[in-house]
Chains A and B, each alone.
Chain A
């Protein structure tokens, strides 16, 4: 991760250091605990969970809960497992992330390198839009999706996530391009490059890191979304988070905890993998999302 270490020169005694490490390890265990509970219990039989100790490792590892969670368990009315919903999420996330990131890059480019009178107001309004409680748009959005014939469809969800992702993607690129030397743009203009040539040939090739940050941010947010999925999806467009909630909170039948845990891990896996592979960029996104200006 990107936070550089510094020699901050505060010395502490041996005992103090032992205490510090003890505390750090305690919190490592605290944060890992739910993950451990999910993993270990997703590998147990239901009997073992009922009769046993949730914190213990499985006595005999079984992959049945995983198979069930993926392809056979009852989600809502159908016994399809989470697989179709996982695919729905992918079909929703990929276009939503790509479109909102691309538009954010163009917006950031315009707002920093082609600023015009009123550009700050435009940016301010887009920035403020990041923070609205989405409850405020649920009712009109449902109507608009209906009018456009997109109600309960994946393209509808793609549109929703693109629109409400624009504020953050624009913010990320604007702040990145604000630090990008304007002289480069001017040099390219003197070389005769057009608006789009400057963007593609000069800015985009130097924007690798911010594209990664933005894509990870958008991917995490859209994949993990529940409210829009719950409000605007129908049976064949339900994303995984909503399906997982349906699986866990359905009131009928026996509670298959092991399947629930396996399903929860499945739902968390894509974002967790992204986090572990590129945590540095994930943290940069979080920081950029918190500190503006």
Chain B
């Protein structure tokens, strides 16, 4: 009457999922890594060419535009979303009537597809029918807003739409953080004579450090992966003005038949994300283990 078989049931149950993740995630990463060092074009092949694709990639103007765009987009998106999110959270934390309704409104964009967001903003910012046209109708004839058609400014329209979509999410993260602040600390500060603004600046906001970190990681990861919104709003255009690494990878791999280069750009994206996510997860899991 030994129960050895029972001991193995849990591992057998977990095995298919783990095998799937090993193959479809880590196996695929290795395979893409390998492809990035071959001269695969329309179809994968195994002609090893070392790091030539990476050299080529960083020589491509197209890729460098994508990187610059990612830098502009990422910086503004992360910065403004965080500041706006924190600002809204603080406003909402003042015992607001109808707080539930307001929160629901701030957060609903997270529930909808980037494609839908893209369509809405694409036409709203369209000079012909959207905001500019409306302002003209309202009598402000000199109003001009043609960013979405302007190669220099189009990337900023994507920033606008992306912030609209995610700032409510950041707000919810900060609000949860603010609600976790021990009330007695605030009371102690008030007894010390600190004003509301001072309490926020000197005590509460510094306590939000872990939330800033989480928000930063989540937003960075979203920024590097952004694909849908660009496709829906500008398709990477005008010209290549809003090309991002994600759209670059897709077009080089599937429409320009440069699979090797596409694979190498995917690897660079992975490296960018992992260099932020891995230290973060490591510290989170460590902290979690310490708490237990």
B25 touching A293, Cβ below 8 Å: no
Known contacts A24-B102, A122-B14; is-contact A34 B124 (Cβ 8 Å): yes
B59 proximal to A (CB < 8 A): no
| Chain A residues within an 8 Å CB radius of B289 | 293
The 0/1 profile, CB within 8 Å of A marked 1, for residues 19-43 of chain B is: 0111011111101100100000000
Known: A50-B129, A264-B116, A293-B285. A139 touches B13 (CB 8 A): no
Query: Contacting chain A: which of B46-54, B73-81, B143-151, B225-233?
Result: B225-233
Chain A residue numbers with a CB within 8 Å of B224 are 133
Also in contact, A8 and B181, with CB within 8 A (given A139-B259, A248-B119)? yes
A144 to B277, CA, bound (A): 27
Contacts of A55 in B (CB 8 A): 134
Whether the pair B20, A163 counts as a contact (CB closer than 8 A) is yes
Given the contacts A54-B134, A137-B32, A128 and B277 also touching, CB distance less than 8 Å = yes
Q: Main SS of chain A's interface residues?
A: helix
Name the A residues within 8 Å of B106 (CB-CB): 27-28, 31
What sequence of 0s and 1s flags, for each residue 250-285 of chain A, a beta carbon within 8 Å of any chain B beta carbon? 000000010011011101100110111001001100
Q: In the complex, A223 Cα to B172 Cα: how many Å? A: 22
Give bound CA distance, A286 to B134, whole Å: 36
Classify chain A: how many residues form its interface, as a range: 35 or more
- B24-A164 in contact (CB<8A): yes
Contact assessment for A122 and B18 in the assembled complex, using a CB-CB cutoff below 8 Å: yes
A228 vs chain B, min Cβ distance (A)? 11
Q: Is the CB of A8 within 8 A of B183?
A: yes
Complex CA distance for A137 and B134, rounded to whole angstroms? 44
Q: Which residues of the partner chain B approach A245 to less than 8 Å between Cβ atoms?
A: 115, 118, 231-232
Q: Is the pair B108, A272 in contact by a Cβ cutoff of 8 Å?
A: yes
Say yes or no: A52 contacts B137, CB within 8 Å. yes
Partner of B121, one of A34, A124, A144: A34
Query: How distant is A213 from chain B, measured CB to nearest CB, in Å?
Result: 14
Chain A stretch 161-218: residues in CB contact (< 8 A) with chain B:
163-164, 166-167, 170, 194-196
Chain B, range 175-232, C-beta contacts under 8 Å to A:
175-176, 178-179, 181, 183, 186-187, 190, 196, 199, 214-215, 217-218, 221, 224-225, 227-228, 231-232
Chain A residues within an 8 Å CB radius of B102: 24, 28
A contact residues around B133 at 8 Å (CB): 53-54
B156 close to A (CB within 8 Å): no
Shortest A286–chain B CB gap in Å is 6
| Chain A 1-33 interface mask (CB, 8 Å, partner B; 1/0) | 101111111111000010011011001101111
A-B residue pair count with CB separations less than 8 angstroms: 300
Question: A215-230: contact bitstring with B at CB < 8 Å (1 yes, 0 no)?
Answer: 0000010011011001
Given A231-B254, A283-B172, residue A139 in contact with residue B10 (CB < 8 A): no
Closest to A292 in B: B284
**Nearest Cβ distance between residue B157 and chain A, in whole angstroms?**
13
Known A12-B94, A31-B106; judge A226-B254 contact (CB<8 A): no
Mark A104-129 against chain B: 1 for CB-CB distance below 8 A, else 0. 00110011001010001010111111
CA–CA, A5 and B89, complex, Å: 12
- What residues of chain B lie closer than 8 Å to A5, measured between beta carbons? 95, 99, 179
Q: Separation in Å of the B126 CB from the closest CB of chain A?
A: 9
What residues of B have a CB within 8 angstroms of the CB of A124 in the complex? 281, 285
A32 CB → nearest B CB, Å: 6
- B123 near A271 (CB under 8 angstroms)? no
Say yes or no: is A291 at the interface (Cβ < 8 Å to chain B): yes
User: Contacts A135-B266, A139-B263, A293-B285: A8 and B10 contacting too (C-beta < 8 A)?
Assistant: no
Can you give 20 contacting A-B residue pairs, CB < 8 Å?
A5-B179, A7-B95, A10-B196, A54-B130, A54-B134, A107-B14, A132-B273, A140-B28, A140-B31, A167-B21, A195-B10, A224-B112, A226-B227, A230-B231, A245-B232, A257-B129, A291-B284, A293-B284, A293-B285, A293-B288
Given contacts A54-B123, A139-B259, A226-B231, 16 further A-B contacts (CB under 8 A): A38-B119, A54-B134, A126-B17, A128-B281, A129-B21, A132-B273, A136-B270, A139-B262, A143-B44, A226-B113, A264-B120, A276-B108, A287-B172, A290-B217, A293-B288, A293-B291
Which chain A residues have a beta carbon within 8 Å of chain B's beta carbons?
1, 3-12, 17, 20-21, 23-24, 27-28, 30-35, 37-38, 41, 49-50, 52-55, 103, 106-107, 110-111, 114, 116, 120, 122, 124-129, 131-141, 143-144, 163-164, 166-167, 170, 194-196, 220, 223-224, 226-227, 230-231, 241, 244-245, 248-249, 257, 260-261, 263-265, 267-268, 271-272, 274-276, 279, 282-283, 286-287, 289-293
10 residue pairs, one from A and one from B, having the closest CB atoms: A293-B288, A114-B10, A275-B111, A224-B113, A34-B120, A293-B284, A226-B228, A268-B112, A140-B28, A129-B25
